[in-house]
Amino acid sequence: MTDTLTMTRPDDWHLHLRDGDMLRAVAPETARDFGRAIIMPNLVPPVVTGAQAGAYRDRILASLPQDTKFQPLMTLYLTETTNPADVVAAHRDGLVSAVKLYPAGATTNSDSGVRDTANVMPVLEAMADAGVPLCIHGEVTDAPVDIFDREAVFIKTVLDPLRQRIPELRVISEHITTQEGVDYVMSAPENLAATITTHHLIINRNHILVGGIKPHYYCLPVAKREHHRLALRQAATSGDPRFFLGTDSAPHTDQNKLSSCGCAGVFSATNTMSCLAHVFEEENALDKLESFAALNGPAYYGLEPNPDRITLQKQPKPVSFPAQIPTHDGPVTVFDPGFDLYWSVVSNR
């Protein structure tokens, strides 16, 4: 087994940075290790036009050190009033890399999302014609559907019918959490891909509920049974180009996490690469980490891998990370994998 790993600088294909003071506090955590990230548009109000995406990108860049090489890749928030021509133009002009579909009410700041995909078919058809990727939060929001079944039901009742209707649409099924999600991607043509988060490779639903409720492990989609976590591990470490890293790192202050109606989200930007090295080493797949974190995503989005490289080294003693990131409105707790981490990023070049 090696204790040093040098690889292409990774990218994060699903990231929340928020805005304002929160943005300024958390953006450097991602920029330290990652070359690019697909930025989620669920601000208040959401990012729905190319001009808004450009302005948000400028705010992100202004929040970073001047010598940063980090590149935010912007997305548009799909609504039932989105103009197809605006989406195509924003993508053509390089303002956005993808469009995000949130089922209305599925997660944080998703109330402006899509209630019926039939109402956005003209946009999706135009996107398919223009080669614009669609990022999907794949959960139904029907009240009778159990929260642990919402991804599987979404695949059957929404995603598969959508792909049958527009088979040429490029779709990223984001933050998959189930065996069904893995199986569906593996059974589909290569224009369907999926992101997998750091924390879903590590926690299952027991981590949230056993021995007391653990709010900092609560996320949406919620972590599932152990056999689903193992399926995600197998997919991530397989080298299959349809699976790549999207951390879904989502900062919330402790005040908002530790409340009677706590926010969903895990903040993992600070220690993701150390966590991933640990997971891939456990699976005897360190040689596949570069594909998952640095090569598969760019290939799907039609981009070149980052020219820079990073080096991770396994330390003799546990590596320490800050437990919290301070912000103007209070601390944001960093994801705790529940075990010691020995891998650390020792070089970015």
Please calculate the CA angle 323-329-335 and round it to the nearest 5 degrees.
25
Residues designated as active site: 248
Q: Rg of the chain over CA atoms, in angstroms?
A: 19
Q: Torsion angle, CA of 118/194/271/280, rounded to 10 degrees?
A: 160
Please give the C-alpha separations between residue 279 and each of 203, 222, 228, 276, 301, in angstroms, as whole numbers. Answer: 11, 20, 15, 5, 25
**DSSP code, position 319:** P
Distance CA 176, CA 220 (A): 10
Alpha-carbon torsion (45, 81, 53, 104), positive or negative: positive
State the Cα–Cα distance between residues 113 and 103, nearest whole angstrom.
Answer: 5
Distance CA 278, CA 300 (A): 25
Which tokens go with 64?
A: 């970073």
Q: What is the length of the chain?
A: 349
Half-sphere exposure of 152 (CA within 13 A, CB side): 11
Smallest Cα–Cα separation from 140: which of 120, 164, 160?
160
Q: Are 233 and 256 in contact (CB under 8 A)?
A: no
